[in-house]
Amino acid sequence: MTYEHLRIALFGNIHQSKKNQYVAAIVNHLTHLGVQIAVEEQFATFITQQLGVVLPSFVPFCHHKGCQADMAISIGGDGTFLGTAAKLAGTGIPILGINTGHLGFLADVTPEHLAPALDALCRGDYVVEERSMLAVEKDGRPSDFHPYALNEVAVLKHDNSSLIEVSTYVNGLFLTDFLADGIILCTATGSTGYSLSVGGPIIVPGTGTLCLSAVAPHSLSVRPVVMRDDVEIRLKIRSRSGRFLLTADGKSESLPDSTTITLRKANVSTPVIKIDHKDFFGTLRDKLNWRGSNIKRQDSCAAGEE
């Protein structure tokens, strides 16, 4: 069976060649299936010049701002997936992640399952999960550097050992002044990322919540705050250096501490393709190496005894 009606755009990591060793296999398999392929322009230049991957002559470049595709494939780790999501934000194009990185909560198709996953993708044998994004504003204007974030937005100290103070308001109501290395606002998707490393909770996707966590707070009484995702959060920063870092899904820029940051749920989302869909708790067991097999055996024994 061929799939001439499908158009798939390929995105990938342009910095680590080892993570792109499967690109040729993906291109060849999709070509064999008759799929129309487009490759993001920077990625195409990288894989042809740095990796020596020969793309068929009919494969066009994909300019992500005007990308026309039925779906996209991100080749790399979760960081690459986040970059792909940022480029495709607002297009509605669903993304499949091929994991050549580490944990892979978003990019969860492993290389050994590459061929069957691509076959399932073309057959339409998958589910799509809509993941919320955060919208970032600076002084009331959308950020031109990183207007959206799928995982998290962080405000961090900048080139200084001193802590920063972040006055935090939720829907106009004062929450507290965080004295810390910084604070993180994450979505449910991002709760297993940076936020988790600073003691934030794991949030089940689809629960409609955000989490605000401090990075190395000065007070032991400071704890993560989980809230509904329809709130507006405003941050005012004070720093001895006069500057701070604003980061969104790993992209950073330096700003003067006179800048007010406003965060809210974006009016766009990221559709994530899941092959061989499993429940979120099964994913946690796999990715975080939690025990589960013994419990299953005990449950089975108990059921047998009954």
Enzyme catalytic residues: 78
Residue burial 22-50, b: 16+ Cβ < 10 Å; e: rest: ebeebbebbeebebbbbbbeebbebbeee
DSSP β-ladder status, 71-76 and 95-99: parallel
Closest by Cα among 219, 252, 254, 216 to 237: 254
Closest by Cα among 17, 189, 193 to 100: 17
Interatomic CA distance for residues 112 and 122, integer angstroms: 18
Residue 55 is encoded by which pair of tokens? Answer: 């793309």
Angle of helix 114-123 relative to helix 23-32, nearest 10 degrees, comes to 40
Interatomic CA distance for residues 107 and 73, integer angstroms: 9
Coil, strand or helix at 127:
strand
DSSP β-ladder status, 127-138 and 148-149: antiparallel
DSSP β-ladder status, 71-76 and 7-12: parallel
